[in-house]
Chain A
Amino acid sequence: MTSIFNTLSHYFTFPFVRYALIVGVLVALCSSLLGVVLVLKRYSHIGDGLAHVAFGAMGVATALRLANQTVLVLPLTMACAVVLLWNSQHAKIKGDAAIAMMSVSAMAIGYLLLNLSPSSSNISGDVCTTLFGSTSILTLTPTKVWLSMGLSLTVVAVFVLFYNRIFAITFDEGFAAATGLNTRFYNLLVALIVATVVVLAMDLVGSLLTSALIIFPALSVMRVLRSFKSVVIASVALSVFCAALGIILSILLGTPVGATIVVVYIAVFLLFSLAGLFLGRTRR
């Protein structure tokens, strides 16, 4: 035990480890907030689709040799989020097909650009990092840390300020619109923060594992809790705990950060499912 503590305190003397923990916890917090809404609105796959889009955008940014990739990746992902959520309302190509189409296109274009215009000799290493986030969380620059903190705080502030309206459009959009709520605006707002969270989460777990951060906390606590507010609060708490634990474990065991966090989420989900069974609260 003492040796684990010593190892950890040794690691935490390095700024990049502290950055990783700060950003990791913030990202987990934001994505679990959004996750509750996405899971309940049956939009879980949108997070996944957008993460692929963000990968494509990252490819474009790399090919363009941008020093700060977020300035390109964030707006592009936001644009796709708006198109997808918009499309799910008046669809020519149905929602799930549109998402599938957009995500494979983005993946292909991103990978192609990375190969055509390699920024380093180790392309497959770069791609692997972007997909699974193996090391990018440990190479954060102070600018990126501040940016992540700013974006996370914005997401949390928006969520808190519009909490009641977000509940209304999640529970019953028809009623909310009928009684005068501008549901279009709030759907747009949700789309924009989903995009922001996805871009943030990519550094932590990589684009393939991003949707785990979004869906697992909400799905886990919904096994046992039965009010919206309690689900939101518990998701956030659980997510912060899992992310911190995942990061610490990955340091101690030398495993990839993203995959370790996701495995922690899976274990916790199984625990909550069991607890749900014991409490007799399985889905009918």
Chain B
Amino acid sequence: MPQLTCDRLTLGYEGRIVSADVSFTVEAGDYVCIVGENGSGKSTLVKAILNLKPPMAGKVMLGDGLTRGDIGYLPQQTAAQRDFPASVREIVLSGCLNRIGHRPFFGQAQRQRATENMRRLQVDDLARRCFAELSGGQQHRVMLARALCATDRLLVLDEPASGLDPQITDEMYRLIKELNQSGLTIIMVSHDTQAALRDASHILHLGNTPLFWGTAREYEQSDIGRVYLNRKAVEA
């Protein structure tokens, strides 16, 4: 049974349709990469998957016992966070909020979980530092640690490499790959088709039409895939 089913979604914003008839399913352990031009509805799709903003038409269904509280999310960074007075520990711990039900406070188990994830992403020595004072790469790892506190099953990432220098980007992809190998399902929006093809099991290409949905190998062989990859290669 798939963890996530998207059934004939129409994506768009401000009343304008950018991608229609988007259907795909995600099984446990998949690594799905969503590619496409700017404005093709990638972030809109992520919002639909996360139930932040309903799609213009169609349905998103969770399956395989997955609930909203089992999903982790790495958002694109917003300006509001940049001067926020919060320590790394406070932020990572807030990822555990979906594990305490209706209880008001975090318990030992959640503190432990936060500590483990900080260690896993090597930000444990920054625990008491202010988030706003960290470097871009460090901030990214903190946000990822928070996302991991929220989930053991499905992680959604929106442009995880945006604004990072190449070395840190590589490290980020390696980390995501490792997480996927440890059993976490990954759904990632990315500009970086090279990395997408290297690591992902499935590709979703959004755009006016035609859309593409299939495995990474099929994408390399497909017409749309070849055109898009060539263009990207030229741009690079």
Contacts and interface: CB of A to CB of B under 8 A. Distances in A.
Interface of A: 40-42, 160-165, 167-168, 171-172, 174-181, 222, 225-231, 283-284
A161 B104 contact: yes
Given A161-B104, A225-B85, A171 B68 contact: no
Nearest to B130: A226
Interface of B: 50-52, 67-69, 71-73, 75, 78, 80-81, 83-87, 90-91, 94-95, 97-98, 100, 104-106, 128, 130, 132-133, 146-147, 150-151, 156
B104 A228 contact: no
A160 B104 CA distance: 8
B97 A172 contact: no
Contacts of B132: 226
The B interface is mostly helix, strand or loop, or mixed, namely: mixed
Contacts of A41: 80
Which one of A174, A176, A230 has the greatest number of beta carbons of chain B within 10 Å? A174
Contacts of A231: 85
Contacts of A42: 80
Given A164-B97, A180-B98, A231-B85, A174 B90 contact: no
Given A40-B85, A167-B90, 6 more contacts: A40-B84, A168-B97, A175-B146, A179-B69, A225-B85, A227-B130
B81 A227 contact: no
Nearest to B156: A178
A42 B51 CA distance: 24
A216 to B, nearest CB: 16
14 contacts: A40-B84, A40-B85, A42-B80, A167-B86, A167-B90, A171-B84, A176-B97, A178-B73, A178-B75, A178-B156, A179-B150, A227-B90, A228-B85, A229-B90
B109 to A, nearest CB: 14
Contact of B105 (A164, A179, A230): A164
The A interface is mostly helix, strand or loop, or mixed, namely: helix
Contacts of B151: 179
A41 B79 CA distance: 11
Nearest to B128: A227
Contact of A177 (B51, B87, B106, B128): B51
Contacts of A227: 85-87, 90, 128, 130
B97 A178 contact: no
A171 B83 CA distance: 10
Contacts of B80: 40-42
Contact of A181 (B67, B84, B97): B97
Contacts of B90: 167, 227-229
B75 A179 contact: no
Contact of B94 (A161, A164, A226): A164
Contact of A171 (B91, B98, B105): B91
Nearest to A162: B104
A162 B94 CA distance: 12
A178 B51 contact: yes
B146 A163 contact: no
Contact of B85 (A163, A178, A222): A222
A158 to B, nearest CB: 10
A174 B75 contact: yes
A283 B97 CA distance: 30
B39 to A, nearest CB: 20
A179 B85 contact: no
B104 A171 contact: no
Given A178-B51, A178-B156, A179-B95, A164 B104 contact: yes
Given A161-B104, A163-B104, A226-B133, A181 B98 contact: yes
